Chain A
């Protein structure tokens, strides 16, 4: 078992209960899709897992170790093992693609070396390999903000790969992309999951994408898990239960 979440709750300072006693486990190699309406708590859940947000209560076990309250150096080493990509890509637009990818390895370079730009040759080679995996090695020296959305997300994936992560968190990675580009990005995630064996937890909006790429789906509604099973089990009824009575399923091809 890679990840074991027990009774995880998060209440924001303003009183919003974003997660209400959420429990589930994730095995190595799974591709878990987290679905649910906007505001159902998907982003909060992902950010609690790598502790960008402090959970209010509950426990997070990663490879059997309790990481719920670790701090400082231990927290940084923990985060190094978990990659994350975002809906808005969150690249440093002013820096080159290669530099952005190298930033994924900041945890393993000393502060002074990284500020002086002294990344070891091995990391440069690794960055180029990761850019090859996502198919944009030829863009290594251009400014990141000159790329299209889909290309930027692939750079973000390459950046996360620099961490050689056990787990990859993806917060609606294709929500800002057009359908064709969405599929291309999702295919890279699928490749990383199957070929590199990286476990993936991915927030998604479109059920068609869930059915195509995920091995398992977890549905959140108002901060509670209302479904946990195979994507193929999400029937019309389940769909209404997760998204509400008025929802209509749309496909993305």
Chain B
């Protein structure tokens, strides 16, 4: 029953989506050629004045979902793999699925304003030639400046990783399912911390950087804070997954000697995860260097800020040098971190 309700809701959503796309994109933008969001009035979906658009779309979706559920040509059934064996129903459901897919593609095309003219007209190609030729003739005069900026970036990434370590380490144990099975309190802690780290991790470092530039002003410090927050939640997740993967035997053996909970974790768990933790941490530093170059774009300091300044000035040869320096350093970091991790494994 629960599944059938969920299935009906799914079909309803798909129906409403079809209604919106057909009306807004296909009818308005493609056939009538009206651009941008439509207001009510002549272009409204409501043929009877006064009814809001979303109600009309919802009603159409509901009608389609009902039709689907009566005829059992349901997309939800297709997704769940429980479609009736009848040939025509499967075929019909597949047709609906391909309709949804092609509509989505058409919508995507319209929304991203894809234009071959913008890319390959003579004027545009000349512009492309200009920037590429400048980028390929890097201006070495600013090399010392670029180097000191990238060093700042590498240190920024390093500090973000190191300062995140203790928090990630503690969080990892508190959000490892196999260690937190004990009682209601530990299970609640586990659930809350998991939700919290999942949430923080879903926010990109770039967004954190914007937040911190407002908080502590522009510069490397907010950039470091942004990366640190992201690193804490990312490492905590990787660490805790590693903990959940351990052999429970040694833990059981330590517990059987009458050891205290912290001793069980320190002696039964930590030795098993130490090397993998180290490996994750080094990899994270490597990722952070990469991210730190971008974070500068929103005022997070380092080479990214420099990249941003020369873009404002449209000095593409200087920009070319900066890109070159970034590429070399990121490549070197990648290489070094891979070698260290190999040695650890």
Contact = CB atoms under 8 A, between A and B. Distances in A.
A80 B260 CA distance: 11
Contacts of B258: 76-81, 106-107, 163
A90 B255 contact: no
Interface magnitude class on chain A? 20 to 34
A104 B255 CA distance: 10
A114 B263 contact: yes
B259 A106 contact: yes
B267 interface: yes
A248 interface: no
A25 interface: no
B253 interface: yes
B263 A92 contact: no
Contacts of A160: 257
Contacts of B275: 94
Interface string A83-121: 110101011111100000001111100010011000000
Interface-centre pick from A76, A78, A91 (highest chain B CB count, 10 A): A76
Nearest to A46: B256
A159 B257 CA distance: 9
B255 A111 contact: no
Nearest to B259: A106
Interface residues of B, number: 20
Interface string B263-286: 100111001101100000000000
Given A111-B260, A115-B262, A103 B252 contact: no
Given A86-B249, A90-B249, A104 B262 contact: no
A84 B266 contact: no
Nearest to A73: B260
Interface string A56-83: 0000000000000000000011111111
A156 B260 contact: no
B177 to A, nearest CB: 15
Interface-centre pick from A83, A95, A115, A162 (highest chain B CB count, 10 A): A115
Interface string B202-237: 000000000000000000000000000000000000
Chain B contact residues: over half helix, strand or loop, or mixed? Answer: helix
Contacts of A86: 249, 252-253
B268 to A, nearest CB: 7
A52 interface: yes
Contacts of A169: 256
B250 interface: yes
A193 interface: no
A115 B263 contact: yes
Given A77-B258, A107-B258, A111-B262, A95 B253 contact: no
Contacts of A203: none
A228 B339 CA distance: 60
Contacts of B254: 103, 106
A115 B252 contact: no
A91 B249 CA distance: 8
Interface of B: 249-250, 252-260, 262-263, 266-268, 271-272, 274-275
11 contacts: A50-B256, A79-B258, A82-B256, A84-B253, A90-B253, A91-B253, A92-B250, A92-B267, A92-B268, A106-B267, A163-B257
The 10 closest A-B pairs by CB, nearest first: A80-B258, A107-B258, A90-B253, A79-B258, A106-B259, A90-B249, A84-B256, A94-B271, A76-B258, A106-B263
